[in-house]
């Protein structure tokens, strides 16, 4: 099921195409407006497809009938829009290389009978059957859109509303992937497993820091491994093929992930290769089902029950509040705020929030309203242009304490900035190699995280993540 905390943003991303007709746009908006965090594709209490039938079937049929030009309309025959998840298309488009001469071919599509099974096989869960059919229809819609475009990619006269409706349907199908049921039966031999449930899978972050969740991390690993194995099979051919033909072979290979069989025109993939690919896709499908049992709320550093989990759990509420402040929907509780790096991605924004609430500027774990710390008070007075002597008088402390507070703020900002950029491959701070070497050597000497962080000028949270990364890399190599 879609989670409530991101449902609003999710629906705004998958809004209708502006080119579609007004009636279709109204129906599309009505469907999105009726979706809730409890909606799912197989729910009887909070169903989705009846919403599509009520609001979009009629307008979509009108869009199809309104265009009188020539196009690949037969690709959409066989089911109404609300029935496409439950019924495979009668025909489908298959990419292949057309070679009119010896100087190269053109990537085009062949329309043929699919030979797909009309009823759901017993060993496929209902939700997987729906996604399988949506993938098939999405492929057909994509090629149907291409048939409405001229050689320059511009829709034919009068085809824009239909193109808009078809693109909107593709967005709708992508949106539906965020509404898996909470629990589904998997394969015949895996009924006890829990399928991957919380959406979105690839963007799930730990509730306590900037890292991706254990489940998302595992799913990303599986996706990368699957892409590698599929490419290895596709590239294993001994014959010399052009780049265009290699891309077509790869496209045909990926068709097997969502199709029960290849079309006769898919001559670039042999039967032996198809058999290998089916085994690969089936193995990774089972692996993804197993990954559904992993945590979608916490990362490998903050596994529930671990010392790091208990240490940072006290900061959870403050961390979430500062995230809202960084997104512009809330107000920061700090007078001295770290700045995000230029062109920051989501992880780097979350790293700013993590460093901020762990900066020690003032107490954030108490239930009562936080009060500003000494350094924050000094910062506010400094922004007003007040002299150090006046600051010391107002705060009742020495000028040396004021100077020390200013230097502490400068050091704190430099410490955050040194670890503010995130390596997208590792999910940890991007630091120079010499710094990594110092951390590695200090770890081998048995120095504590606090001592190492002070030596290299990084925060303890940043150093802790790098030390864990080096440890996991060392274990992987061994």
> Whole-prediction pTM value?
0.58
Encode burial over 362-385: b for 16+ CB neighbours within 10 A, e otherwise: bebeeeeeeebbbbbbbbebbeee
pLDDT value at residue 443: 93
What kind and span of H or E run contains 292?
Answer: none
| Contacts of range 72-81, beta carbons closer than 8 Å, 24 or more positions apart | 72/111, 72/143, 72/144, 72/147, 73/144, 74/111, 75/111, 75/140, 75/141, 75/143, 75/144, 76/137, 76/140, 76/141, 76/144, 79/137, 80/53, 81/52, 81/53, 81/56, 81/57, 81/169
Low-confidence ranges of the chain (pLDDT < 50): 1-5, 95-115, 184-203, 475, 478
Dihedral pair phi/psi, residue 91, rounded to 5°: -140, 160
Domain borders along the chain are 1-181, 185-301, 314-422, 428-478
| Model pLDDT, residue 458 | 95
Determine contact, residues 210/302, Cβ cutoff 8 Å: no
pLDDT at 77 (0 to 100): 85
Q: How far apart are CA 75 and CA 90, in angstroms?
A: 8
Residue 238 is predicted with a pLDDT of 52
Q: For the chain, give the mean pLDDT.
A: 82
**194 DSSP assignment:** P
Cβ contact 333:368 at 8 Å: no
Q: Where are the alpha helices (DSSP H) in 192-235?
A: 214-234
The angle subtended at Cα 378 by Cα 373 and Cα 384, nearest 5°, is: 130
Looking at residue 46, its pLDDT comes to: 85
C-alpha count within 13 angstroms, C-beta hemisphere, residue 13: 11
Angle between helices 243-258 and 126-146 (to 10 degrees): 140
What is residue 383's predicted lDDT score, i.e. its pLDDT?
92
Question: Looking at the domain covering 428-478, what would its CATH class be?
Answer: mainly alpha
Helices (H) and strands (E) in the chain, counts: 18, 2
Residues with Cβ within 8 Å of 440's Cβ and at least 6 positions away in sequence, in order, are 470
């Amino acid at each position: 099921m879609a989670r409530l905390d991101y449902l609003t943003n999710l629906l705004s991303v998958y809004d209708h195409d502006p080119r579609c007709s007004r009636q279709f746009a109204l129906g599309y908006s009505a469907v999105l407006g009726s979706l809730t965090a409890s909606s799912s594709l197989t729910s009887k209490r909070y169903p989705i497809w009846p919403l599509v039938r009520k609001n979009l079937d009629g307008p979509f049929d009108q869009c199809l009938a309104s265009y009188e030009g020539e196009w690949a309309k037969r690709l959409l025959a066989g089911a109404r829009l609300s029935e496409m998840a439950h019924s495979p298309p009668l025909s489908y488009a298959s990419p292949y290389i057309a070679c009119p001469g010896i100087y190269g071919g053109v990537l085009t599509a062949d329309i043929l009978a699919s030979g797909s099974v009309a009823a759901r096989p017993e060993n496929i869960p209902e939700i997987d059957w729906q996604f399988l059919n949506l993938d098939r229809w999405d492929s057909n819609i994509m090629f149907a859109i291409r048939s409405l475009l001229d050689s320059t990619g511009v829709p034919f006269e009068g085809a824009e509303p239909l193109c808009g409706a078809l693109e909107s349907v593709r967005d709708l199908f992508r949106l539906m992937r965020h509404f898996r049921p909470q629990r589904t039966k998997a394969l015949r031999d895996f009924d006890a497993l829990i399928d991957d449930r919380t959406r979105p899978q690839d963007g799930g972050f730990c509730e306590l820091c900037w890292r991706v969740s254990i489940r998302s991390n595992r799913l990303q690993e599986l996706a990368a491994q699957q892409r590698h194995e599929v490419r290895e099979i596709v590239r294993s051919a001994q014959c010399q093929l052009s780049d265009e033909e290699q891309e077509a072979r790869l496209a045909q290979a990926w068709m097997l992930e969502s199709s029960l069989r290849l079309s006769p025109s898919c001559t670039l993939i042999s039967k032996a290769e198809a058999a290998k690919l089916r085994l690969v896709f089936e193995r990774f499908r089972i692996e993804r089902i197993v990954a559904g049992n992993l945590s979608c709320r916490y990362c490998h550093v903050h596994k529930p029950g671990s010392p790091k989990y208990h240490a940072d759990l006290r900061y959870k509420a403050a961390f979430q509040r500062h995230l809202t402040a960084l997104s512009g929907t809330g107000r920061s509780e700090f007078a001295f705020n770290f700045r995000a790096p230029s062109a920051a991605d989501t992880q780097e924004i979350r790293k700013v929030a993590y460093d901020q609430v762990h900066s020690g500027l003032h107490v954030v774990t108490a239930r009562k309203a936080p009060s500003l710390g000494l350094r924050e008070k000094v910062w506010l007075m400094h922004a007003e242009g007040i002299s150090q002597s006046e600051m010391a008088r107002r705060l009742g402390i020495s000028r040396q304490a004021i100077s020390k507070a200013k230097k502490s703020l400068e050091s704190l900002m430099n410490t955050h900035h040194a670890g503010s950029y995130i390596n997208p491959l590792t999910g940890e701070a991007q630091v120079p190699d010499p710094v990594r070497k110092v951390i590695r050597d200090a770890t081998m000497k048995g120095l504590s995280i606090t001592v190492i962080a002070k030596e290299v000028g990084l925060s303890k949270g940043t150093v802790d993540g790098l030390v864990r990364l080096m440890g996991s890399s060392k274990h992987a190599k061994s």
